[in-house]
Chains A and B, each alone.
Chain A
Amino acid sequence: MQRNVTVAAAAAGASSVTPLPTAGDAAFRRDNTVVRRDLEPIREPNSERDAELVAAGIRRKRLIAVLPWSLFVVLLVVWEALARGLNIPEFVLPAPTVIAQSLVTWWDPIVENALQTLKTTLIGFALANILGMTLGVLVGSSLLVYHSLYPMLIAFNSIPKVAVVPILVIWFGVGTAPAIVTSFLISFFPITVNVAAGIATVEPELRDVLRALGAHPLNIVRKVGLPRAMPYYFASLKIAITSSFLGSILAETVAGQKGIGHLMIVASSRFEVPLVFAGLIVTAVMSVTMYTIATVIERRTIGWATRSQNDAGSAPGH
C-alpha cells in the first residue's frame, strides 16, 4: 500500500520525465511470451519412492552402528583360527580365548595395576589441561607471548619423552610421580596448540566490532575467544587423553613398581605372553572409554559446533 503511494508521489515530483513501465502495466503483459504454469493442476508425488528412501536411510544408520562391532568379531575369529590352525606358540601370538583365560586368572592384579595407571594418567591429564589451557590462552591472545614462547614449546615437544623418564626418576624416585609427570608432559602440548589456534583465529571483523565498543582485550578473549576455542580444545582432548595413557605406561615400563606397564614388563620377562596381551587389551579399553567420555562431554557442551555436520550426516547417500 505504502509503496504505491510513495511511487505516485515520486512520479509526481519528477513530472518532466516519463516513468518507466512497471511489471504491473499492460505493456509488460505480453501473453505470447508468458506461459502461466502455476495454474495447471498439481499431480500427487510418488509416496512409495519417498518411503523407500526413508527406509534405506534407516537401514544405513543401523549398518553404521553395527559395523565396528561385527568387524571386531570377525578379527577375533580370524585371529583365533590362525593361532590354532597354524599352531602358533602361545609365547609368540596367543589366541583370543587364551588371552581371555589369562584375563580371568590374573583378574585381581590386572584391576589393581589398571587402577594405578588410570590414576596416574588422569592426574597427569588434569595437570595438562590446566597448564595447556593457560598457555593456550596466553599464546593465542598475545602476539608477544606467541613469539617468545612458541619456539621453545615446539623444541620441547620434539624431545623424546622416553629419554626424559630416567631424569624424572633421578628427581622424583621410582614410583607414581614419574608416571604422572610423563603423562602430563606428553599431553599438554596438543591442548596448548589447539586452544591457542582457536583464540588466535577469531574473525578480525568480530574483534573490530567489539573493540569499536571499547571492549577490553581480556573481555574479548572471555566472551568470544574462549567459547570459540572449545571445539579445538575438545578435538585436542581426544588426542591428549590417549597420549596421556601412552605417557604413564611408558614411565611404568621404564621405571615403575606398579601400573599396567609394569605388569606387562614383568609378564613378558616371565614369558607370560597371554598376560601381556591382556594388559594391552585392558589399556585399550580404558583408553577408548576415556575417549568416549570426552566425546560425550563434547557433544553436550558444544553441540553448536557439530550441528551442521550432524544434519548433513542424516541425508541419504552420505
Chain B
Amino acid sequence: MTERPFVEIDHVWMRYGGTGGTLALRDASLTVDRQEFVAVVGPSGCGKSTLMRLVTGLWPTSSGAVIVAGKEVDRPLSIAGMAFQNPTLLPWRTIMDNIMLPLEVVTPHSSRLRRHRKDYEAQVHELLELVGLKGFDQKNPWQLSGGMQQRASLCRALIHQPELLMLDEPFAALDVFTREDLWGVLQNLWMARRPTVILVTHDLREAVFLADRVLVMTARPGRIMLEKTIDLPRPRTIEMTYTPHFQGMVQELREYIDEARRGEEVADAA
C-alpha cells in the first residue's frame, strides 16, 4: 500500500489528571487505511474509548501524534460521525429531526439546510430505509425500542456523510438477536457508503463479523498487542458465524485477550 493511511496514531501516550494520574495509553501506535473497517478489542478498561476520543480530537494526547487525513489533530475533527452504547436521541425531537441534528451544526450543511431541506430529508429517508426504519421518521424516540433507537443513532452518525465513523460499543446494550440484526445493518451501511470505521467493542464475534482487521489491545496502560486480518468474503452472514473457520478466529482472539489479561495480573502483582 503506497497511499498514506487515513488515520495514524503515532507513539501516543495518554495520562489523566496530571503526573500522578492514571496512565491509559502507553506508546500506542496504529494505522487505519481509508475506507477500512477496523475493530479494536481488549480487556475492559484498556483504553479503547480513550483511543476514540483521541482520534476525534476531543482530548489532546499527553505525548505522540494523532494524524487524520494527513493533518495532525489538535482540535475536534468536525468530519467524524460518532455513535455510542447509549443512543442519546433527543426526546423532544422526532426521529427525522434527531437525524438532522448534525446538519444543523456542521459548517457546510448548516447554512444550506433551510433552502435545501427537501434534499436533506430525502437523504434521511434513504438512510432510514437502509437501516430498516422506513416510515418511522415522524415518531418520537420513546416510541421506538432500544434496537430501533440505536438504528436511528447510526443514521445520525452518518447523515453528514462523514469520512470517519467512530463507534464505541454501539450494540453492547442490545439483546443478542437485535445485535446480530444490526451487524447486518452496519455492514450494509458501510458497503453502501464506505466510510473509514473504527469500532470499539468487547464482543469478539462482532469484531470478526464486521471488521477487515481486528486490533487487540493489552490491559491498561493500553498498547496495541497485535492485529489480525479477517479474510471472510462480504457480505458476511449470520450463518457464517457458525462455521468452524469463523469460530476458530473468535477462539484465537479470545486466547490473545486472555494473554493480555494475564499480563495485567502480572503488572498488578509487581
* Interface flag for B77 (CB, 8 Å): yes
CB of B40 to closest CB in A, whole Å? 17
Within 8 A of A (CB), among B219-240: 232-233, 235-240
Q: Bits for A212-240, please: 1 = Cβ < 8 Å to B, else 0.
A: 11111001100110011010000000000
Q: Using a CB–CB distance below 8 Å, which chain B residues touch chain A?
A: 53, 56-58, 76-86, 88, 90-92, 101-102, 104-107, 140, 142, 156-157, 160, 166, 168, 232-233, 235-240, 242-245
Complex alpha-carbon distance, A6 and B191, angstroms: 16
Which residue of A has the minimal Cβ distance to B244? A17
- A227 touching B104, Cβ below 8 Å: no
Within 8 A of B (CB), among A1-48: 3, 6-7, 9-11, 13-14, 17-20, 22
* Interface flag for A112 (CB, 8 Å): no
- A223 touching B104, Cβ below 8 Å: yes
Q: Bits for A35-79, please: 1 = Cβ < 8 Å to B, else 0.
A: 000000000000000000000000000000000000000000000
Q: Bits for A152-176, please: 1 = Cβ < 8 Å to B, else 0.
A: 0000000000000000000000000
Complex alpha-carbon distance, A206 and B141, angstroms: 15
Complex alpha-carbon distance, A214 and B77, angstroms: 6
Complex alpha-carbon distance, A14 and B58, angstroms: 43
- A208 touching B53, Cβ below 8 Å: yes
CB of B57 to closest CB in A, whole Å? 8
Stretch from A116-124, A185-193, A253-261, A302-310 contacting the other chain:
A302-310
* Interface flag for A131 (CB, 8 Å): no
Complex alpha-carbon distance, A35 and B110, angstroms: 59
- A219 touching B242, Cβ below 8 Å: no
CB of B51 to closest CB in A, whole Å? 13
- A304 touching B142, Cβ below 8 Å: yes
Which residue of B has the minimal Cβ distance to A305? B91
Q: In the complex, which residues of chain B have a beta carbon less than 8 angstroms from the beta carbon of A219?
A: 104-105
Which residue of A has the minimal Cβ distance to B160? A213
Indicate which residue in B82, B91, B239, B245 contacts A212 across the interface (CB closer than 8 Å).
B82
Complex alpha-carbon distance, A210 and B56, angstroms: 11
- A7 touching B240, Cβ below 8 Å: yes
**A to B contact number (C-beta, < 8 Å):** 112
- B90 touching A224, Cβ below 8 Å: yes
A203 with B86, Cβ < 8 A, contacts A20-B242, A213-B106, A213-B160 known: yes
- A17 touching B157, Cβ below 8 Å: no
- B78 touching A212, Cβ below 8 Å: yes
Most buried by A among B58, B77, B102, B105: B105
- A213 touching B243, Cβ below 8 Å: no
Since A9-B233, A212-B82 are in contact, a sample of 17 more A-B pairs with Cβ atoms closer than 8 Å, ordered by chain A residue number, is A6-B235, A6-B236, A7-B237, A10-B239, A14-B243, A17-B245, A20-B242, A205-B86, A208-B84, A211-B58, A212-B78, A214-B76, A214-B78, A214-B79, A216-B105, A219-B104, A230-B92
- A213 touching B84, Cβ below 8 Å: no
* Interface flag for A143 (CB, 8 Å): no
- A13 touching B142, Cβ below 8 Å: no
Complex alpha-carbon distance, A7 and B246, angstroms: 13
